[in-house]
């Protein structure tokens, strides 16, 4: 296998959702390199529907503060503007979701029924798990469902490119619920829908949560070869 192919495959297979970062900064030029490369993602008729708001420093701190102020009231988490999960998740997807959840909570010492512990951990989502770079992804809500696929490929490129440069990421659907606060903080136009966030930075390998390795189904469980 040629070295370039090996590097690409290594970047893909080493990607994981990191939930603990160091505070070491990521240079602006590195972020720009990642995003410019990621914009080579395919999109229907080259519409390039992705929009990304890159937050660092005081801008990131302001968004975190606004969301955490709301969470400190104890109010229930607001719903996103689009249904990320189905109302009733069928098997085997429900079991997979539960398995990774309990694997993570087990390492963190959060037992079944520990709502306070679970909420405290969930708070870390809105701090981008300590990452120096936070991203918020939006789409023009007037576009069709295909635009969601296009943005997903753009995000995957970001995560792969980051790994190629030794960085790590964590895509975060949790931010979608706080779309009203995000809209205000980022002065988003009315047509923009908040889809998710992403943490970007250098993994803290001492963080307990980063010991989690998500299982993947074997090839024969998801691929059908018809010859």
Q: Walk me through the domains of the chain, giving residue ranges and CATH numbers.
A: 20-82+89-213 (3.40.109.10)
CA distance 63 to 166: 26
Percent of the chain with pLDDT over 70: 99
Chain segment 49-61, per-residue pLDDT in tens: 999 999 999 999 9
pLDDT of residue 5: 80
99-110 tens-digit pLDDT: 999 999 999 999
Reported as a pLDDT band with limits 50, 70 and 90, residue 136 is very high
Res. 1: pLDDT tops 90 = no
Residue 40 has pLDDT above 70, yes or no: yes
3-class DSSP string for 170-220 = EEEHHHHHHHHHHHHHHCCCCCEEEEEEEEEECECCCCHHHHCCCCCCCHH
Token digits of residue 98: 């539960």
pLDDT attached to residue 132: 98
- Asked if residue 2 has pLDDT above 70, the reply is no
Residue 135's CB is within 10 A of a number of other CB atoms, namely 25
Q: What angle do CA 19, 23, 29 make, to 5 degrees?
A: 100
Mean pLDDT in residue range 156-167: 98
Q: What is the average per-residue pLDDT within 114-133?
A: 95
Asked whether the predicted pLDDT for residue 3 surpasses 80, the reply is: no
Q: What is the mean pLDDT of residues 59-85?
A: 95
Poorest-confidence range of 78-87, 166-175, 217-226?
78-87
* Interatomic CA distance for residues 226 and 36, integer angstroms: 37
Q: How far apart are CA 31 and CA 19, in angstroms?
A: 19
Model confidence at 93, pLDDT cuts 50, 70, 90, reads very high
With a cut of 70, say whether residue 153 has pLDDT above it.
yes
Predicted confidence (pLDDT) at residue 70 exceeds the cutoff of 90: yes
């Amino acid at each position: 296998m040629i070295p370039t192919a090996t590097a690409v495959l290594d970047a893909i297979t080493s990607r994981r959702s990191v939930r603990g970062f160091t505070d070491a900064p990521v240079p602006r030029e590195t972020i720009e390199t990642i995003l410019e490369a990621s914009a080579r993602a395919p999109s229907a008729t080259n519409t390039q529907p992705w929009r990304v708001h890159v937050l660092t420093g005081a801008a990131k701190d302001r968004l975190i503060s606004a969301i955490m102020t709301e969470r400190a009231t104890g109010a229930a988490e607001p719903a996103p503007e689009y249904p990320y999960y189905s109302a009733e998740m069928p098997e085997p997807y429900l079991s997979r979701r539960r398995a990774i959840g309990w694997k993570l909570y087990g390492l963190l010492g959060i037992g079944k029924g520990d709502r306070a512990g679970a909420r405290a951990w969930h708070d870390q989502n809105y701090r981008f798990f300590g990452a120096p770079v936070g991203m918020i992804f939006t789409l023009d809500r007037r576009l069709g469902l295909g635009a969601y696929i296009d943005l997903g490929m753009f995000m995957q490129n970001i995560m792969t490119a980051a790994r190629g440069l030794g960085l790590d990421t964590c895509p975060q659907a949790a931010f979608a619920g706080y779309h009203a606060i995000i809209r205000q903080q980022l002065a988003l136009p009315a047509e923009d829908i908040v889809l998710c966030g992403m943490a970007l930075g250098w993994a803290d390998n001492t963080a307990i949560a980063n010991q989690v390795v998500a299982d993947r189904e074997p090839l024969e469980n998801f691929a059908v070869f018809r010859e």
